[in-house]
Each structure stands twice: as structure tokens, then as C-alpha cells.
Structure 1
Amino acid sequence: MKWPALLTSFCLALALTFPASAQPNILVIVADDLGYADIGAHGGKEVPTPHLDALAASGIRCTSGYVTAPYCSPSRAGFLTGKSQTRFGHEFNPHVGDEAKLGLPLDQRTIANVLHDSGYATSLIGKWHQGFDAAHHPQSRGFDEFFGFLVGGHNYLLHKDAEPEFGSAHSHDMIYRGRELQKLDGYTTDLFTDEALSFMGRNTKQPWFLYLAYNAVHTPLEVAEKLKSRIPASVTDENRRGYLSLLLGLDDSIGRLTAELKANHPDTLVFFFSDNGGSGRKPFFAYNTGINTPLRGDKGQTLEGGIRVPFFISWPGKLQAGKTYDHPVSTLDILPTSCAASGAKPPAGLEGTDLLPHLKGEKTEPPHDMLAWRFGPQKAIRRGQWKLVDVRDMETKTQSGWQLYDLTTDIGETHNLASTKPDLVADLTAAWNEWNSRNIPPQWHGSPNEDPTAPPKPAAKAKAKARTPANK
């Protein structure tokens, strides 16, 4: 073989061995019902959160980071598909209706489907809450591996000798590996972190995508023995003590994860967000004492406190550390951003955008002209500095009607400007109506807290029978 031909063959072999654009690992960490103001990066001081704060500082903290719904399951459906979940009827938690139809519709592709097809090992660890039957199972939706629970909430203190239970929207001692029920002792936050570290360690020959969905800091507010001494004695409310213990456990786990990434997986694109705001209203389902100050409202509301969440993006060497980004971003953006980073082909119909050129300063315009929400009778739209919202009072069951706020000067939504700017209200209302015209009716009802048209729930006992381990 002559030298030119030999050189060409050598270069070809080298290119195949070392691709020009290696695919990064992608890690999405989701906290559950985390209060906006409870972490140090947002001013929280009741307990230290050094590892969450360090994760925020390692990349870009999005100060106007939004989820697509103020409730668990629809918020996750928006992130998983890169589409507003109201486009395909996933408006409420999938608790009431025909179980074969409850959950992320089967015609929707997930981020796991997309990355799996692009050569990624894929795993979900923790909370699913996107359906319960075999067709809706995570391993039927693009995930190679699953370790976690299927419903909306789960106990933390596991006992392998306990009888598995399902009641209402929560399960107890019903952690699955794949489709098989496990008998486990331990603390779920730690177990999910152990499993995440194992998944990373077992996948060093190909890029991996991990969706790590902690149940912390969702109810039940169970306190692990090892965390009791770290809860300030000045905190005497037992619910708040339980919440803070869950936050401490979550922060510890973030520290373990980031140490592993730094040591062995430096080329990892990391997203962190909460699925909705903290649940600080009492009485309210899943009340956990979360604090959303200075935001107004809580989980279940389209006020800022329900949909604006802690939102960090870190990618060492690719995104500048220690920055904040103030334009509104959405969990809709995670899928297209991951596609851009990995070279995966984006699925049709995405409503999010690739954030990388915006975060790098290559594009200076906002990623979104507007963001909009519908959650039963509640509505909202944000365009630039302006937020138009029609919110439901969860105690009186009354609607506020359209209210207008300037978020640059009134992040707490306390000064309603609707009466002084009727033309702007009309303009934003028309924009919301146009956006809403492309939504479809909800495919199932939510709980009465979510949807005033919801029928009474079936008895918990009957639902439990449909979701016993034998039917998985």
C-alpha cells in the first residue's frame, strides 16, 4: 500500500475510534415540591444546602426558570416530551379514570426514546407518575432501566418485611426494579443515589442519559434517624422539621452525585429543577411547609410560586460557571437542548428551544416570545416582563379573573395593573386564547383540588386492587 493510501486508511480508523463530536452524558435531576426559597442559592438559611448551591454555582442559574404545570405529573409530561402537556390532554395527575388510558399518551415520544435511538444507555431512577399499566411503564417509554415507584408519592423509610400498600396517590414499600417488586430496607433518597452511581459506573463505554427523580421533598415528611441531629432545635413545627430533614438528605445526595461526576464523568450536561413550587398552604394535599418567598402562590396554582422553580444547568468546560440567566426558560427546553448537545434528531412538534446558544451568549434575544399555561380553570401567560394570570383560590374555590403584573418590579405579584392597562390585558388575553386554541380537552379528570369539574374519586380500595404487584 502506498503512503497516501496508508495515511488515508489510518486517518479513517482514527476518526472512527475518536469521533469528532463525542456525545456528553446527560443527567436530569428533579426534586419534588421543593420550595423556591428553601435553598441557599435562593436565600434559604434555615438549613445549609451547600451541594445544591455548588451545583447552581458550577453552571448557570436560570432566575426565571419555569415548569409547564404547577402539579407533578403534567409538569413531568411537559419535560419528557418537550411539548405543552395540554396539547395531548395530560392536564392533571393520572388518578381518575380507565387505567389503560391514564398516563403519558402512548403516541408521545419521550426524551428517553430520542436519546436511546441516538446510542444512549437510558435509566429512570425514582418517581415515574406517568401511568401504571405495562404499556405506560418506563421501560415501555424509552428507558432501558427503571428503579423506583410508579405513582405520585412514596414513603422514605423502607422495610423489606412490610406489606406493600397502595392508597390514594401514594404507595408504600412498592419500589420496583424493572417490573419486579423489591423487598428493601433503607432510605429512598440514599437508595436512589446509590442506584444512580451504579448506573453511571456500569456505563463507561457509551453515553448515558439518567432521569433521577427524587421523591424528596414531597410528603410523607418522614425523618431518617441519621438526619435528626442536623435539624435546628429552633424549628419546633413537626411538619417543618420533617421537610427540612428531607431537604438535608437531598442535598447530601447531590453532593455524592457531583463528586462522582467530577471524578469520573466530567463531560456531563446536568439539569436540575423542581417539578413545581413548594406546597406551603394548609390544608392542602401534600402540604409540606415549602416556602416560595418572594413568589406568591404555591403548588397547584399558576401564580409564580406554583410554576417558577429552582432551575440550574451545568456543563463543565462548555457553559461558564457562576452565571445567572434572567430571560424566561422552560423545562420544555431540556429535550431540544439535549438533542443539540448530543446530535440526536429532535422529534417533530417540539415547543421548547435549544438553550445552548442563549446561555453561551451567542444569541442575545430571549429563547421564548412567550410562555403560557392552562391548569383546569387556571390560566397564565408571560411575555417579556408582563404576566397575565387567572388563578383559583384553593380554599374558597373562586377564580380571581385576569390579573396583570410587571414581574421586573413585582416578582411577588402583589400589584394588579389590569385596570390601568386594559389594552395590554386584551392583547395578552388574545395571545393566550390563540395558544389555547391548539390545546385539547383533558383526557382524564384530576382531583377536586386541581379541577372543579372532577367527579368523586373511586374508593381507594378498588384502585389498590388494580395496582397490586401481580398486575405489573
Structure 2
Amino acid sequence: MTWSDLSRRRVWLPLLFLAGWLSTAHAETPREKEQPERPNVILILADDLGYGDLGCFGQQKIKTPNLDRMAAEGMRFTQAYAGATVCAPSRCALMTGLHGGHAPIRGNQEIKPEGQLPMPAGTVTVAHLMKQAGYRTALIGKWGLGHPGSASTPDKMGFDEFFGYNCQRLAHEHYPPSLWRNSEQVPLDGQQYSHDLFTAEAVKVIRDNRSRPFFLDLSYTVPHQKLQVPDLGPYADEPWDPKLKTLAAMMGRLDRDVGTIFALLKELDLDRKTLVLFASDNGAAYQDELFDHSGPLRGRKRDLYEGGIRTPAIVRWPGQVPAGVVSPQVWAFWDLLPTLADLTGQPKPAATDGVSVLSAFRTNEPVDHPPLYFEFHEGGFQQAARIGDWKAVRRRARGPIELYDLRTDPAETRDLAAEQPDQVRRFEKFFEGARTESPHWPIREQPRARPAAAKPAAS
């Protein structure tokens, strides 16, 4: 039964700081006694889901009734941002509270035979924060921020339980030969759909921890490639390209299992005790006219235009987050860490680019947000930033700046750089100070930038 069936800081912090900050992680603190009803927190992260892929964000072809209902019973954010335009740096921003100018992972960088460039030992994560607050922490799904045996595996980065893919490249295969449970590799027969295994594991985590506060990062791998799904469901008879039917069915399966999670919360009487956040890790990887994945926005995955970095974010917490609200509050993945620090009554770690947006979640009162910063390293070096309603995109190292007014032109169709030289200079200065140098992520002077994303027709 589904739910719808039921009515400027550096990240490489000294190890001594981490040890001191976490020294009471397993001890009962006075704050825990004072706040016995701390909410559970579930983060549901889709992989390569576009801004326009949900019904509540304008999708017409793919049905997402459970996520639409989540939005109706919670708050939908039209100006929320992922951490980056590709997987690993976006997830690093989510984990560390650092944007792409300060985070240790600023791009996808594979480590063979399995895994990615790890975060440094001593990195403080959201999971560390929640453990410090007395939460049981679990990551189900994709990690992509280290390799087996490195200093940056989930069990070393604050998670009590991990089941899923350590390597994001291997996560392209939804019928994997093996997955990881903590530090042990679990062989599979290649016939089991990993998404279904993740849902079953998430159900177990919730049941096992129903009597104590828990933080669950449910990091699904759909609808990321490959295009694979056990059945096409309601899309089997649609007169579409077979690939598009598979893609739609993958999204439908995601929606179905979001419903499964909410049904379980109701069954266990945890519904009003649980804050649930939904988002996608970056823009849509696919581009087709049928589904219009980016909706009204320009660009997609691997672009720094809005379609590559805005995420279809929804927050639900009955009795605490107002229902049926559409919020223009600007926030980004690096705000999660300070927001959860605020939620659990902990001081915000010094090394964070984020701010707490908890009051925006609970009261819909706007929070003044500092400038947003993004960078992208594949095929060269690109930057983007948002200051107020102004958005700047620089598509090659130290190249010309494109300037857009998102208040009047969210589709980024009119470059106002020639008309607004003062704003261009403002962004030039901001770009100079927005990042720290990193040996892993140098500024490349001779990029091989892809062609500019197509601009939507002006409305």
C-alpha cells in the first residue's frame, strides 16, 4: 500500500577539531533530555531528475501522485539549488555545508578500479552532526565520495549504517553484481533491481529505529543511466520511444516508493514526528521534447544555467511545515548542514558556507541568503553565481560574463551584461574571492567548453 493509498573556509579541518567536536557523539547530553521529541529526518535524493520532471513542477506526461501529494501537504520550493551540476560535487556540498569554491570535491574524478576521489580525513559531515545530536544515521543508495578502503567511506564519515554503491560509476548499472554493506561487499546475482533493494532497506531502517531519532539519507540512483526498470507499468502501451517509456517508468517507480515511505511513517505513527526533504542532485541528464525535463528553465545537467542547478525541492513535516505553500525562498544544498544544526539545537560549525533556512521551512518567512557560487570542471573551468536576483555565468576561465535578471527572466534568455556594467564588475570581484585554490581542481586556462545550452523561447 502506498502513501497515496492512505487518505570561506577550508574543508580539510584539523583532526583535533573533529575529535573534540564529536567527543560526546555517543553520550546523552542535557539537550537530548530537554528535547525528547526531536524529529526524525529523511532526505530522499533523486539522481538526475530535472526541475520539470514532477507533476507539481509542471510535468504533464509522467505521473508522480505521491510527490505531488507531498508538495500539497508541505512546501514546494521554486528557487532551491543543488550543490553542483554533476553528482559528486553536489553530494559533497550536501554533506559538508560547503559550496563548490571551498568543498574538497568540486567535480567527478574517478579512482580505479572502484570509487571516486575521497574527501579528506577529518571532514565534518551532516551525518557527524546528526550523530552528535544523538541520532542513528543511515545512508541507503549512492555514495560517490570516496573509494573502498579510503578515509572517505560512509562509515568513516558519520553513518552508522550504509547499504548501496560506493562508486557512482558502478551505480550506472541498476542490476549490479554486488553492493556494499558498511565495509563489506555483498555479492548479488545481477537479477535484483537496486532501487527496490534500497526501498526495502530503508523500510527496515525506519522500522528498526522507530523508537529513537534517526537520520536517513535515502540516495536513490534513478532516473540516472542506464535506462533499466523491471517493468514499464502504466507506460507500457504509450506510443513513445522505448527509451522514454523506460525513463518514465523509472520515475514512476521512484514516486511509488516515496509513497511506500510515507505509508510506513503513518503506519508507525511517525508521520508527524518526521521531517522529510526531497530533491534531485542536479539537473536532468536527458533532453527530449516529450517530457520537457527542465520545464521553463534553460540548460540541463553539466550546465550552470538554471536547468542544470535548480532542484525540484519539497519539504514536509505535518504540523510544523505549512501545507500547500509554494515558496520562492532561495537555498542550496550547503544550507542543509546549518539547517539541521538549527533543528537539533547545535551550534553551526565554523566551516560552512550555508545558512539555516529552518525558519523559512516552518513559517514561510523569507531568509536573507548570501550569494550562491558554483563551478564546473569537466572540459574546462566554468563559474556561476547568484546575488539577489542577478545571475552571472562565465563559461570559460576568466572569460566574458553573461548576466541575467532572474526576477524578470528566469529562463535566462536575455544577456544584460552590456547594459549593466556595474553588475558585471560586481560579479567579477565576487568570482575572484569566492574560491580557494585546490591542487585537485585548478583553473584551466584553455577549456574545451561544450556549446551553450539552448535558450527556451521567451514567453
TM-score by length of 2: 0.82
| Aligned residue number for residue 165 of structure 1 | none
| Aligned residue number for residue 46 of structure 2 | 31
* Deviation for aligned residue 1:187: 1.8
Aligned partners of 1:355 and 1:367 also within 8 Å: no
Is 1:68 the counterpart of 2:83 in the alignment? yes
| Aligned residue number for residue 258 of structure 2 | 254
Aligned partners of 2:116 and 2:144 also within 8 Å: no
Is 1:441 the counterpart of 2:438 in the alignment? yes
Residues of 1 paired with 2:74 and 2:317: CA distance?
A: 6
| Aligned residue number for residue 241 of structure 1 | 245
Residues of 1 paired with 2:143 and 2:107: CA distance?
A: 14
Residues of 1 paired with 2:402 and 2:32: CA distance?
A: 58
Residues of 2 paired with 1:66 and 1:315: CA distance?
A: 20
| Aligned residue number for residue 404 of structure 2 | 405
Aligned partners of 1:405 and 1:415 also within 8 Å: yes
The CA deviation string for residues 257-276 of structure 1, in whole angstroms up to 9 with x for no partner, is 11112332121111111000
5 Å matches for 1:187-226?
187-225=193-231
**Among 293, 315, 321, the residue aligned to 1:319:** 321
TM-score by length of 1: 0.80
Aligned partners of 2:115 and 2:145 also within 8 Å: no
* Deviation for aligned residue 1:142: 0.7
Judged with a 3 Å threshold, the aligned counterparts in structure 2 of structure 1 residues 380 and 18 are, in CA distance, closer, same or farther, namely closer
Is 1:84 the counterpart of 2:93 in the alignment? no
Aligned partners of 1:123 and 1:144 also within 8 Å: yes
The CA deviation string for residues 363-419 of structure 1, in whole angstroms up to 9 with x for no partner, is 54x331311112231111111211111236xxxxx9983111111221111111111
The CA deviation string for residues 210-239 of structure 1, in whole angstroms up to 9 with x for no partner, is 0000000100001213xx241164442232
| Between 314-323 and 232-241, the greater mean CA deviation after superposition | 232-241
Residues of 2 paired with 1:71 and 1:290: CA distance?
A: 19
Aligned partners of 1:279 and 1:298 also within 8 Å: yes
Is 1:298 the counterpart of 2:300 in the alignment? yes
Amino acid paired to 1:145: E
Aligned partners of 1:295 and 1:305 also within 8 Å: yes
| Aligned residue number for residue 432 of structure 1 | 431
| Between 98-107 and 117-126, the greater mean CA deviation after superposition | 98-107
* Deviation for aligned residue 1:310: 0.5
SS in 2 for 1:115: helix
Is 1:356 the counterpart of 2:358 in the alignment? yes
SS in 2 for 1:360: helix
Residues of 1 paired with 2:434 and 2:296: CA distance?
A: 28
| Aligned residue number for residue 13 of structure 2 | none
Aligned partners of 2:99 and 2:334 also within 8 Å: yes
Judged with a 3 Å threshold, the aligned counterparts in structure 2 of structure 1 residues 206 and 78 are, in CA distance, closer, same or farther, namely same
The CA deviation string for residues 124-146 of structure 1, in whole angstroms up to 9 with x for no partner, is 00000000132221111111111
Q: Percent identity?
A: 34
Aligned partners of 2:389 and 2:407 also within 8 Å: yes
Residues of 1 paired with 2:307 and 2:364: CA distance?
A: 31
Amino acid paired to 2:83: T
Larger of the two Rg values belongs to structure:
1
Judged with a 3 Å threshold, the aligned counterparts in structure 2 of structure 1 residues 179 and 306 are, in CA distance, closer, same or farther, namely same
| Aligned residue number for residue 416 of structure 2 | 417
Residues of 1 paired with 2:97 and 2:333: CA distance?
A: 7
Amino acid paired to 1:312: I
| Aligned residue number for residue 138 of structure 1 | 154
The CA deviation string for residues 243-300 of structure 1, in whole angstroms up to 9 with x for no partner, is 1111011011000011112332121111111000001359xxxxx9871121111111
Aligned partners of 2:148 and 2:183 also within 8 Å: no
Aligned partners of 1:90 and 1:442 also within 8 Å: no
Aligned partners of 1:127 and 1:152 also within 8 Å: yes
Judged with a 3 Å threshold, the aligned counterparts in structure 2 of structure 1 residues 21 and 432 are, in CA distance, closer, same or farther, namely farther
Aligned partners of 1:189 and 1:253 also within 8 Å: no
* Deviation for aligned residue 1:107: 2.6
Residues of 1 paired with 2:373 and 2:172: CA distance?
A: 34
5 Å matches for 1:32-71?
32-71=47-86
Amino acid paired to 1:148: G
Aligned partners of 1:274 and 1:309 also within 8 Å: yes
Residues of 2 paired with 1:16 and 1:332: CA distance?
A: 25
Residues of 1 paired with 2:364 and 2:295: CA distance?
A: 33
Aligned partners of 2:75 and 2:326 also within 8 Å: yes
Residues of 2 paired with 1:343 and 1:451: CA distance?
A: 45
* Deviation for aligned residue 1:31: 0.3
Equivalent residues, number? 409
SS in 1 for 2:404: strand
Judged with a 3 Å threshold, the aligned counterparts in structure 2 of structure 1 residues 201 and 96 are, in CA distance, closer, same or farther, namely closer
Aligned partners of 1:386 and 1:407 also within 8 Å: yes
* Deviation for aligned residue 1:22: 2.3
Residues of 2 paired with 1:50 and 1:442: CA distance?
A: 46
* Deviation for aligned residue 1:157: 5.0
5 Å matches for 1:5-24?
19-20=34-35, 22-24=37-39
* Deviation for aligned residue 1:188: 1.6
Aligned partners of 1:337 and 1:356 also within 8 Å: yes
SS in 2 for 1:339: helix
Residues of 2 paired with 1:319 and 1:174: CA distance?
A: 39
| Aligned residue number for residue 271 of structure 1 | 277
| Between 354-363 and 209-218, the greater mean CA deviation after superposition | 354-363
* Deviation for aligned residue 1:109: 0.7
Amino acid paired to 1:70: T
Residues of 2 paired with 1:39 and 1:17: CA distance?
A: 38
SS in 1 for 2:434: helix
| Between 35-44 and 346-355, the greater mean CA deviation after superposition | 346-355
The CA deviation string for residues 324-359 of structure 1, in whole angstroms up to 9 with x for no partner, is 110311111111111111223432212211112233
The CA deviation string for residues 148-183 of structure 1, in whole angstroms up to 9 with x for no partner, is 01111425653xxxxxxxxxxxxx322112222223
Aligned partners of 2:48 and 2:280 also within 8 Å: yes
Amino acid paired to 1:373: F
5 Å matches for 1:274-289?
274-281=280-287
Judged with a 3 Å threshold, the aligned counterparts in structure 2 of structure 1 residues 291 and 101 are, in CA distance, closer, same or farther, namely closer
Residues of 2 paired with 1:237 and 1:38: CA distance?
A: 17
